């Protein structure tokens, strides 16, 4: 790679810089940035919505678990905190999503948790076998529930959107007494549209259906009130805004009143009422533990704790307020600097209806993304076919980051620095 051109160096002479500095100075959450590892002060990392940064405390916390709990205490550690760790971490995460104690467990992946909860909902559907989602959902989620709906003799209906906004009214119109389950991403992965969770939950309930929210792109950035809305089920990642590390275990939520009505379709021993009874008949645990599968990934749970604790410590309302301010500043920089260069705003403009990331559309989005990473030292995400997605993780993103990123993006396009990059996308983008 050639050395980055001088034009992609400091951007402190560009319009908007002083404003960004002022916002950072007034930002009560700014000190949290020092609680995360930063090895390259010139890198602008705008992908905390895909893989959150490493908390400073995590390496020591994991080392203590490896050396002390595993190395020294060995199997005794199961009785000294490991056995309940998945529900303990779930209880700590619970306030972020409006859940109570005993309603959340941290286990398995988001995809597996989705399978378990959607499968449980279909089995409880008393003959209803249709599932409703939208075309903004993470395609993998749609694949998981489509397979389950087919196996139950039903089908998945994917309600069409305009590509940016959740098709709320069309979803409401699609609900009837055939529908067992409505499942949506609360904040959608590309445009960042954020549903009115209470409204859709109420509509699903009015049709006699259950609702399952995927909170992967909300948790840790957008306050969620599952309890207040009476939502039934939810899943989500801990490696995005919760900074739990690559592949860290996901969470699942089951409203307390439903827990003894729903049955985990993977009836393994960690969901058994008496796992060490080794009875050949399976009797599900009476509580949230019935939605566990096999042995908890202890080291990954330990790695996930500091990131979750940091979000709880900062407070989700303060995080949301900063997220809104970051998005507003990003939108203003886009309007001044990027819209004239042909980048379109392909996310909601209503601050109440978006999460903490936004996407920009451009025909050359993939080459632009490569130039941003390789020359601009700005890491966004490319999302096929034509989006550059910028995630503004409130605990680790500054207003100057947003200014630098948008300015370097503009300079790349002005100078055509993206043009030599290959047009063909790689497998991982």
Provide the minimum distance between the beta carbon of 62 and ligand PLP in the complex, in angstroms, as a whole number: 20
- Which residues, in sequence order, are CB contacts of 264 under 8 Å at separation 6+? 116, 119, 120, 271, 284, 290, 291, 292, 293
Pairing of strands 155-159, 179-185: unpaired
Compute the least distance from the CB of residue 127 to ligand PLP, in Å: 28
Q: Which residues contact 366 (CB under 8 A, 6 or more apart)?
A: 382, 384, 421, 423, 425, 429
Q: Residue 337 in 3-state DSSP?
A: helix
Q: Which of 183, 185, 356, 369 binds ligand PLP (CB under 6 A)?
A: 185
Closest CA to 199 of 217, 215, 216, 182: 182
Task: Choose which of 43, 109, 135, 293 interacts with ligand PLP (CB under 6 A).
Answer: 109
Stretch that binds ligand PLP, among 84-92, 134-142, 324-332, 389-397 (CB under 6 A): 134-142
CB 104 to ligand PLP: min, Å:
16
Query: Residue 51 CB, nearest distance to ligand PLP (Å)?
Result: 10
Tell the smallest beta-carbon distance from residue 108 to ligand PLP (Å): 8
Interacting residue with ligand PLP among 128, 130, 217, 272 (CB under 6 A): 217
Spatial distance between the Cα atoms of 332 and 340, rounded to a whole number of angstroms = 12
Query: What letter would DSSP give residue 148?
Result: H
Told to check if 133 binds ligand PLP by CB under 6 A, we report: no
For residue 157, which of 185, 138, 140, 178 has the smallest C-alpha distance?
178
User: Residue 111 or residue 293: which is nearer to ligand PLP going by CB?
Assistant: 111
CA atoms within 13 A on the CB side of 238: 34
Q: Is residue 141 a contact point for ligand PLP (CB under 6 A)?
A: yes
Concerning whether 240 is annotated as a catalytic residue, the answer is yes
Catalytic residue among 23, 36, 45, 138: 138
Annotated catalytic residue within 27, 214, 309, 364: 214
CB nearer ligand PLP, residue 120 or residue 221: 221
Size of the site for ligand PLP (CB under 6 A): 13
Task: Report in angstroms the alpha-carbon separations of 256 from 20, 35, 100, 230, 236.
Answer: 45, 35, 8, 10, 18
C-beta of residue 112 within 8 angstroms of C-beta of residue 135: no
User: Where on the chain is the footprint of ligand PLP (CB under 6 A)?
Assistant: 109-111, 138, 140-141, 185, 189, 214, 216-217, 237, 250
Catalytic residues: 138, 214, 239-240, 389
């Amino acid at each position: 790679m050639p050395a980055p051109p001088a034009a992609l160096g400091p951007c402190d002479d560009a319009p908007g810089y002083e404003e960004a500095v002022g916002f950072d100075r007034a930002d009560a959450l700014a000190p949290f940035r020092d609680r995360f590892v930063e090895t390259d002060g010139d890198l602008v990392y705008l992908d905390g919505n895909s893989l959150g940064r490493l908390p400073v405390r995590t390496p020591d916390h994991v080392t203590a678990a490896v050396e002390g709990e595993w190395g020294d205490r060995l199997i005794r550690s199961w009785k000294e905190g490991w056995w309940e760790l998945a529900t303990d971490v779930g209880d700590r995460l619970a306030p972020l999503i409006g859940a109570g104690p005993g309603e959340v467990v941290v286990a398995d992946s988001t995809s597996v948790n989705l399978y378990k909860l959607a499968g449980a909902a279909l089995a409880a559907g008393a003959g209803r076998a249709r599932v409703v989602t939208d075309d903004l959902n993470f395609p993998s989620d749609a694949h998981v529930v489509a397979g389950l709906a087919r196996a139950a003799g039903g089908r998945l209906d994917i309600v069409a959107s305009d590509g940016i906004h959740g098709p709320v009214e069309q979803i409401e119109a699609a609900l009837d007494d055939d529908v067992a389950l409505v499942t949506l991403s609360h904040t959608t992965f590309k445009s960042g549209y954020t549903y009115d969770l209470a409204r859709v939950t109420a509509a699903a309930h009015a049709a006699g259906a259950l609702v399952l929210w995927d909170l992967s792109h909300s948790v840790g950035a957008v306050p969620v009130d599952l309890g207040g809305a009476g939502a039934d089920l939810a899943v989500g990642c801990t490696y995005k805004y919760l900074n739990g590390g690559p592949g860290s275990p996901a969470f699942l939520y089951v409203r307390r009143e439903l827990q003894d009505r729903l049955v985990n379709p993977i009836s393994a021993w960690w969901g058994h009422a008496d796992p060490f009874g080794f009875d050949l008949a399976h009797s599900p645990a009476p509580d949230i533990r019935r939605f566990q599968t096999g042995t908890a990934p202890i080291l990954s749970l330990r790695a996930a704790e500091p990131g979750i604790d940091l979000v709880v410590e900062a407070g989700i309302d303060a995080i949301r307020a900063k997220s809104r301010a970051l998005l507003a500043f990003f939108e203003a920089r886009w309007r001044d600097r990027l819209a004239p260069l042909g980048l379109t705003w392909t996310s909601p403009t209503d601050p109440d209806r978006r999460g903490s990331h936004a996407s920009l559309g451009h025909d050359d989005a993939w080459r632009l993304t490569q130039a941003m990473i390789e020359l601009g030292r700005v890491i966004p995400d490319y999302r096929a076919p034509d989006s550059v997605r910028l995630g503004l993780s409130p605990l680790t993103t500054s207003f100057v980051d947003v200014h630098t990123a948008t300015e370097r993006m503009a300079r790349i396009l002005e100078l055509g620095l993206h043009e030599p990059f290959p047009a063909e996308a790689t497998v991982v983008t």
